């Protein structure tokens, strides 16, 4: 077994691409979960792919001291009624998880400012400001339990 494959009684974790060289592929009933998101259903009748969630979230209105959901999404679409501060990103669910937060507001004054790093889970804390019509990409560091701007 390669060094980048880890197993326990409940799951197999593979770090890197997966290549299947045998045909046919069979499995028992259940789900294949990628980065915490169920995207392929494995059933006794075969394998069916669903649209992968873990894509973009629905547009969420963020308020001061509000929380942006990170679980199961790769892109968080946000809007605000006015400039907001003390915003929190949920903790990551997987080492090296990536997340892009988009501020869809067209009004320049409608910014999203994170809370201090100990509260917001963002390494830059209050120095992280997402301007209107901008996107900021983050990477989760499971060692420090913080999101870092990429």
User: What are the residue boundaries of the structural domains of the chain, listed by start?
Assistant: 5-49, 60-149
Concatenated DSSP letters for 101-142?
EEE---STT--EEE--HHHHSBTTGGG-EE-TTEEEEEEEET
Residue 1 has pLDDT above 50, yes or no: no
Q: How many CB atoms lie within 10 A of CB 112?
A: 26
Task: For residue 4, report the phi and psi dihedrals to the nearest 5 degrees.
Answer: -95, 20
What pLDDT does 26 receive? 46
Judge if pTM exceeds 0.75.
no
What pLDDT does 148 receive? 98
> What is the Cα 29 distance to its own chain's centre?
26
Q: Per residue in 8-61, pLDDT tens?
A: 555 666 665 555 544 444 444 455 544 444 445 444 444 444 433 468 899 999
Q: Per residue in 122-150, pLDDT tens?
A: 999 999 999 999 999 999 999 999 999 99
Residue 87, CA atoms < 13 Å, CB-side half-sphere: 27
């Amino acid at each position: 077994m390669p060094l980048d494959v880890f197993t326990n009684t409940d799951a197999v974790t593979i770090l890197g691409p997966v290549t299947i060289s045998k045909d046919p592929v069979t499995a028992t009933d259940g789900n294949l979960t990628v980065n915490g998101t169920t995207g392929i259903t494995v059933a006794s009748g075969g394998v069916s792919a669903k649209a992968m969630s873990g894509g973009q979230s629905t547009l969420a209105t963020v308020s001061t001291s509000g929380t942006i959901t990170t679980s199961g999404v790769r892109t968080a679409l946000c809007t605000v009624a006015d400039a907001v501060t003390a915003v929190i990103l949920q903790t990551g669910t997987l080492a090296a998880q990536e997340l892009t937060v988009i501020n869809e507001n067209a009004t320049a004054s409608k910014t999203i400012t994170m809370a201090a790093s100990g509260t917001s889970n963002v390494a830059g804390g209050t120095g992280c400001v997402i301007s209107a019509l901008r996107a900021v990409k983050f990477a989760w560091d499971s060692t420090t339990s913080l999101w870092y701007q990429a």
